[in-house]
Chains A and B, each alone.
Chain A
Amino acid sequence: MKKTVLTDEQIISDLLPKKFGKWGMAWTGVLVVICLLGMFAYYRQLRYGLIVTSMRDYASWGIYISNFVFFVAISLVGSLITAVLRLTGVRWSTPLTRIAEIIAVSAITFGAIIIIVDMGRPERFYYLFLYGRLQSPIIWDVTVITTYFFISVLLLYIPLLPDMKILLAGKEKKGIYRFYSFLGSFWKGTHMQYRISKRAINILCITIVPVAFSIHTVTSWLFATTYRPGWDSSNFGAYFISGAFLVGAGAVSAAMYVFRRFYKLENYITPEHFDKMGKIVVMLGLLYLYFNVNEYLIPYFKMKKSEEAFLNGLFVGEFAPLFWSAIFGGMIIPMIILLFPRGRTPYPMFICGTMIVVGAWFKRYLIVTPTLLHPFLPMHNVPESYKHYFPSWEEWAIAFGSLAGALLVITIFVRIFPIIPIQETLTEHHQKEL
């Protein structure tokens, strides 16, 4: 493959954030509208109570909680791409670190927001800090998610400092430049500063790995600490983490394609990146498949009475179409496509990544709700609406509003900051030339 020789000026001008084009404006507009719709739905929920949702005493957790699990899952990719790959000495992933990290930050932020939306008494949120009791997995979750959020923000911010200098170079301190200057004017690029920042990033990369494992393991414990069929599983932590890495890698694959295409980054996000990400996705898919086999087929082999109705509901019953779509569409088919070198080219990668993300969203729903609809004691003498769950328009609006919100944060970030680290690209470019 022929590679064009890039000058420093060329790299910088390629990677500096660009104004929204026609499509950028339309995309942002659509996201804002969805967010506003979600906010209106939440206003209705605050006014009338959770009665506006379709959740009832049996399905007492619905798509808010599954959306939360989804957000936590997808945010794990920050630690995978930035920390795990960096610590293992992988160099090719440099252009992808910031994509992964902003996905992590915005997802974990909206995960926290959606959990407040799910509360019956959101105005008592601060009770968690006032009266928090350590034995509740919710308190563990609050602790690790907050920690993860701050580490992720730092991992986004510190590598951004050298780029801030480039952004500020020779510009008047007006408008957005005032903001850049506020964030990073102290960065002079001295040898000492580079040394400190390198050390800081190393420390953060090491700490984020156990914290990332904790956020999703603890999230799985919100379910696994109960007795319910489908949740009462010692496999749950590993099952959740493997699924999280898969959906995160899928999201990065899809995002790589979008940024490459719309920001003309063909020289920086190369087919080689897609090829390598594709291989990672296949590996993570196999891992997730392994845990799925453990999670569903082993209970199926025994078919305990308490789990029978639940498992049948997933395999052949009410939830079967969704279940098999999520298993095949969100895991097996993308994996098969990505086994072929041609599958690991940009556009198929985008399709596979999207399939994985959509499949993962529904998979989280299938983890949360069917279990609740199969209690130990029969559902009896309750209105018909208690026995099934289909989200109300308010729930859909809020769930999609939060997803749109997460995408909006990413979109705005890309508008004001370079999505590919400029300074690191320059450094690597110079090293290659030498």
Chain B
Amino acid sequence: MDTTSTSRKAFLSSIITTGLALAGCAPKKDPFELAAGEHAKASGEKVKLLSVDGEVIEVDKAFLRPVPEMPAVSNSEERRGIPGKKFVMVIDLSRCKNLRFCEKACNHAHHLHTGLNWLKVYPMDEAEHTAPYWEPTMCMHCDEPPCVKVCPVDATFKRQDGLVLIDSDRCIGCRFCMAACPYSARVFNWEKPDTLTAEEVCQPYSCETSVPQKVGTVGKCDFCPDMARKGELPHCVSACPNGVYFFGDLNEDSVTNGAETFRFSELIRDKAGYRLMDDLGTKPSVYYLPPVARNFPFEKGLENDNEKS
């Protein structure tokens, strides 16, 4: 009983969303009419569904088509942000061994073109006689974002919850933001993303999921606000088995990696947290804990590194 009610709900909402999707997409892709009438053959297996006017109808299973995913909120809401939040990330460098699960999870979740990474792990070494360490970087979601300053068309914008996001339907592909970002956080879709299915290409773009990526526009880490709306952690945070990433809300003063939760202010105070290139005045939202009392030796990470430096 429980399962049928959820599937009914899903079906009803899918009808609504299909209608919305049709407005922004090529009309040929109607998952019901055309596909059912012309391309699908009846399998004989019937499924009971509730129609829009409240009647129970029987539909052949072969006529059912997945419906494109719709953004949960409107574009203007996506541009405003989640009220009352101020998202922060803390990255504990003493725990990172360049496993790069974060990178894979991120690439998978955002359907990035093969070879593009929004999340990058660098082998860093400050000077000749200092110890090397692994440093994951992503978009720093700066409070003084140099990229937003230079964007001529408001395609990249700062939200009240601190996030810097991209509207790929607005981006003109001038790449000024890439030149402006000192963290090399932005990547460009030089060609059509090869990871997208036909349905995903057609799906309306959401600034919060950053899917689907579009050729000729800029992409970057979005701090997964769609996950935050669901009360879940960003993909990189939950993918990391070593608990390197802590995500949270500055207003609540708490950050978590899923297993452990800390008061943000205490964590930063006790472990001497800092921000990357803070001297530039960009005011990043990503904080780093220095690589002291490490869990792994630096060399451990070399086996996952594609590039011998």
Residues in chain A within 8 A of chain B (CB atoms): 48-51, 53, 55-58, 60-61, 118-121, 124-125, 127-128, 130-133, 135-139, 142, 222-223, 225-228, 372, 375-378, 380-383
Docked-complex contact B154 and A372, CB < 8 angstroms = no
Partner of B152, one of A49, A58, A128, A225: A128
Q: For residues 159 through 182 of chain B, which have their beta carbon under 8 Å from a beta carbon of chain A?
A: 170-176, 178-180, 182
- Which of A127, A139, A142, A228 is packed against the most chain B CB atoms within 10 Å? A127
Partner of B216, one of A120, A130, A380, A382: A120
Docked-complex contact A119 and B120, CB < 8 angstroms = no
Q: B187 contacts the other chain (Cβ, under 8 Å)?
A: yes
Top 8 A-B pairs, shortest CB-CB distance: A120-B173, A120-B216, A51-B191, A138-B152, A136-B152, A51-B190, A121-B173, A131-B153
Can you offer 28 A-B residue contacts whose CB atoms are under 8 A?
Answer: A48-B191, A50-B191, A50-B216, A57-B116, A57-B178, A57-B187, A57-B188, A60-B178, A61-B175, A119-B174, A120-B188, A124-B153, A125-B172, A128-B152, A128-B153, A131-B155, A133-B151, A136-B150, A136-B151, A138-B176, A226-B146, A226-B150, A227-B280, A376-B277, A377-B183, A380-B120, A381-B120, A382-B115
Q: B18 contacts the other chain (Cβ, under 8 Å)?
A: no
Docked-complex contact A60 and B182, CB < 8 angstroms = no
Partner of A380, one of B150, B174, B190, B307: B307
Give the complex CA separation of A222 and B116 in angstroms. Answer: 26
Partner of A60, one of B120, B123, B175, B183: B175
Docked-complex contact A228 and B179, CB < 8 angstroms = yes
Docked-complex contact A380 and B123, CB < 8 angstroms = yes
Residues of A within 8 A of B242 (CB): none
Give the complex CA separation of A58 and B190 in angstroms. Answer: 12
Residues of B within 8 A of A128 (CB): 152-153, 172
Docked-complex contact A55 and B190, CB < 8 angstroms = yes
For chain B, the bracket of interface size reads: 35 or more
CB A50 to nearest CB in B, in angstroms, measures 5
Residues of A within 8 A of B215 (CB): 49, 120
Q: B306 contacts the other chain (Cβ, under 8 Å)?
A: yes
Q: B149 contacts the other chain (Cβ, under 8 Å)?
A: yes
Say yes or no: A376-B151 contact (C-beta < 8 A), given A60-B178, A120-B217: no
Residues in chain B within 8 A of chain A (CB atoms): 115-117, 120-124, 137, 146, 149-155, 170-176, 178-180, 182-184, 186-192, 215-218, 277, 280, 305-307, 309
Docked-complex contact B149 and A135, CB < 8 angstroms = yes
Docked-complex contact B305 and A121, CB < 8 angstroms = no
Say yes or no: A381-B184 contact (C-beta < 8 A), given A48-B191, A51-B191: no
Residue of A nearest to B98 (CB): A381
Say yes or no: A228-B182 contact (C-beta < 8 A), given A50-B216, A120-B217: yes
Docked-complex contact B179 and A133, CB < 8 angstroms = no
Residues of A within 8 A of B180 (CB): 225-227
Partner of A377, one of B153, B175, B176, B184: B184
Residues of B within 8 A of A60 (CB): 175, 178-179, 188
CB A349 to nearest CB in B, in angstroms, measures 38
* Beyond A53-B190, A137-B176, A226-B150, 16 extra complex contacts between A and B, CB < 8 Å: A49-B190, A51-B190, A119-B216, A120-B216, A124-B172, A131-B170, A136-B150, A225-B149, A376-B277, A377-B120, A378-B122, A378-B123, A380-B120, A380-B309, A381-B306, A381-B307
Docked-complex contact A381 and B216, CB < 8 angstroms = no
Say yes or no: A377-B137 contact (C-beta < 8 A), given A136-B150, A136-B152, A227-B280: yes
- Which of B152, B182, B216, B217 is packed against the most chain A CB atoms within 10 Å? B152
Partner of A138, one of B116, B174, B277: B174
CB B189 to nearest CB in A, in angstroms, measures 8
CB B179 to nearest CB in A, in angstroms, measures 5
Residue of B nearest to A380 (CB): B122
Give the complex CA separation of A352 and B182 in angstroms. Answer: 39
Residues of A within 8 A of B216 (CB): 49-50, 119-121
Give the complex CA separation of A57 and B179 in angstroms. Answer: 10
Residue of A nearest to B176 (CB): A138
Say yes or no: A138-B150 contact (C-beta < 8 A), given A57-B188, A377-B137: yes
Give the complex CA separation of A121 and B184 in angstroms. Answer: 21
Docked-complex contact A136 and B172, CB < 8 angstroms = no
Docked-complex contact B183 and A376, CB < 8 angstroms = yes
Residue of A nearest to B186 (CB): A57
Residue of B nearest to A378 (CB): B122
CB B214 to nearest CB in A, in angstroms, measures 8
